[in-house]
Amino acid sequence: MCRLTALLGGVFAAAGAHAVDLPEDRAELLYHAYTGGGVTANGPALLVRKSVLDKVSLQGTYYVDAVSNASIDVVTTASPYRETRTEYGLSADYVYRDSQITLATSSSKEPDYTANSVSLDISQESFGGMTTTSLGFTRGSDTVGKHNAPEFADYAKHWQYRVGVTQILTKTWIASANFEAIADDGYLQSPYRVARVFGAAVPENDPRTRSSRAMKFRLLSDLGHRDAVHADYRYFYDTWGIKAHTAELGYSRYFGDAILADAYLRYYTQTHALFYSDNAQQQTTYVSRNRQLGTFNSVGLGGKVAYALRKVPGSYDVKLNAGYQYVRFKFSDFTDIRTGNPYATNASVLQLYVSSTF
C-alpha cells in the first residue's frame, strides 16, 4: 500500500513538475491605419491582460475602426460614406497542469451591422512540453441592417472549428500545423453592392450558405546570430469555388539589446467564386461582382521594429513598436469601368503601438 501511495505520489509530483504558465500580464495601446483604394480605416485599440489568483488570466480588448469609404465600388455605384465600428472583447484563460482553457466573447457594432461571438479553446502540452495540441470552437451571430431602410433586417450565423499542433523539432526549429473549418449561414453579401448583368446594374445575390476549409503550416528557425527566419503556407478552399494560396517568408533580427526588427514578404492568390462575374452574359440565380470573390493576387512587403524603452528584469518592460506594410492588389477579372482596364490598387497598413509586460 505504501509503495502504491509512493508511486501515485511520484506520478502526481511528476505531473505537477511540468505545468503550463499563465499568459503574462500585459497591456498594448495601438493606433492602426489602413489606406488604399479610396478606403481609410483607422483608430485606436487597447488590450489589458491581468492574472487573478495565479490560475486565471483575464483579458479585455477595445478596438475602433473609423471607416471612410470611397472605394471603386462606392465611387462607381453609390455615394462615399463614413462610419465607425467599435468592438469589445473579453476573455478568461484558466490553466490546470498542462492544459489551458480559454473562454472568449466579443461584440462588434457599426450602424448597420452587429456581430457577437463566443469561443472556447483548449490547448494541451504533452511529450515533455515539446508538443502543444489545441482545439477550438467559435459561434458567431450577426444582425445585418441597411442605412435608410428600416424594413431591411437579416442575419448571419457562423460556426468555426479549429485544431492545431505546435511541435518543437530541434533546439532551434519549431513547426506548427493548423486546420479550420468554417460554416456560414444567412445573409452573406452586402445590401449595397451591385452586380452587372448584360452591362446593367442589378442587386448582387450570393448563396445563403458557405462552407470553408483552411490549413496552414508554419516553420520558425533560430539562425544562431540573434536572428530567426520563418516560412508560412496556407491553402484555402470553399463551397463557393474559391481556392487560395498564401505564402510568407520573414526574417527577424536583434540590433543591440534594445531593438528587434522584422521584415517579411507575403504573397496571396485566389481563384474566383463560381457565381462571380465582372459582367454576366447570362441570367443566373446567384450573381456577384464583389471583387473580394474575384480572381486576384496581392503582394505585401512589411517591416516592424520594436524598441525596448525600459526593462526591469522580473518586474516590467515597456516597448515602442512601429509596423508598416505595403500591399499591391492586382485583379484579373474586375474591370475598372472608368478606364476599361483590369483594376489594380495599392494599400498601406500602419501600426504604432506601445506594449508592456508587468
Partner 1 sequence: MTAPRLFIAAALAAIATLSGCAIQPWVKPYERERLADPIMKFSRDSLAEKHNEHVRDVREGARGATGVQGGGCGCN
Residue 343 interacting with partner 1 (CB under 8 A): no
Question: Applying CB under 8 A, which of residues 94, 254, 324, 326 lies at the interface with partner 1?
Answer: 254
24-40 exposure pattern, b = at least 16 Cβ within 10 A, e = fewer: ebbebebebebebbebe
> Which H, E and C letters describe 91-114, residue by residue?
EEEEEECCEEEEEEEEEEEECCEE
Residue 117 interacting with partner 1 (CB under 8 A): yes
Cell numbers 484555402 correspond to 236
In angstroms, what is the minimal distance from the CB of 198 to partner 1? 25
CA distances from 339 to 71, 72, 201, 342, 344 (A): 15, 12, 18, 9, 11
Residue 214 interacting with partner 1 (CB under 8 A): yes
Whether the Cβ atoms of residue 119 and residue 140 lie closer than 8 Å to each other = no
108-126 exposure pattern, b = at least 16 Cβ within 10 A, e = fewer: beeebbebebebebebebe
- Contact region for partner 1 (CB under 8 A) — 74-82, 210-218, 280-288, 332-340? 210-218
Size of the site for partner 1 (CB under 8 A): 99
What amino acid occupies position 305? Answer: V
**What Rg do the C-alpha atoms of the chain give, in angstroms?**
24
Whether the Cβ atoms of residue 40 and residue 68 lie closer than 8 Å to each other = yes
Nearest-10 Cα torsion for 186, 191, 196, 201 = 140
In angstroms, what is the minimal distance from the CB of 128 to partner 1? 3
How many Cα atoms occupy the beta-carbon half-sphere of 11 within 13 Å? 5
Residue 185 interacting with partner 1 (CB under 8 A): no
Q: Interface mask (CB under 8 A) for partner 1, residues 285-314, using x and -? A: -------xx----x-----x-x--------
Residue 95 interacting with partner 1 (CB under 8 A): no
How far apart are the C-alpha atoms of 201 and 195, rounded to whole Å? 6
Residues within window 268-287 making contact with partner 1, judged by CB under 8 A:
268, 270, 273
Question: Applying CB under 8 A, which of residues 35, 40, 51, 61 lies at the interface with partner 1?
Answer: 61
> In the numeric block, which cell numbers belong to residue 342?
483590369
Residue 212 interacting with partner 1 (CB under 8 A): yes
- Contact region for partner 1 (CB under 8 A) — 74-82, 280-288, 323-331, 336-344? 323-331
Q: Residue 206: name the closest of 274, 146, 145 by CA.
A: 274
Select 217 or 279, whichever has its Cβ closest to partner 1: 217
Select 9 or 241, whichever has its Cβ closest to partner 1: 241
Question: Applying CB under 8 A, which of residues 6, 7, 15, 130 lies at the interface with partner 1?
Answer: 130
Residue 190 interacting with partner 1 (CB under 8 A): yes
With a CB cutoff of 8 Å and minimum separation 6, the contacts of 26 are: 47, 48, 49, 355, 356, 357, 358
Select 119 or 205, whichever has its Cβ closest to partner 1: 119
- Contact region for partner 1 (CB under 8 A) — 5-13, 224-232, 278-286, 333-341? 224-232
Select 197 or 227, whichever has its Cβ closest to partner 1: 227
How far apart are the C-alpha atoms of 50 and 47, rounded to whole Å? 10
- Contact region for partner 1 (CB under 8 A) — 72-80, 214-222, 281-289, 336-344? 214-222
Residues within window 26-45 making contact with partner 1, judged by CB under 8 A:
28, 30, 32, 34, 45
Residue 244 interacting with partner 1 (CB under 8 A): yes
Residues within window 141-160 making contact with partner 1, judged by CB under 8 A:
142, 144, 156, 160
Residue 205 interacting with partner 1 (CB under 8 A): no
What amino acid occupies position 240? Answer: W
> In the numeric block, which cell numbers belong to residue 112?
448597420
Residue 107 interacting with partner 1 (CB under 8 A): yes
In angstroms, what is the minimal distance from the CB of 47 to partner 1? 5
Residue 99 interacting with partner 1 (CB under 8 A): no
How far apart are the C-alpha atoms of 216 and 239, rounded to whole Å? 19
Select 112 or 202, whichever has its Cβ closest to partner 1: 112
* CA 156 to chain CA mean position, Å: 19
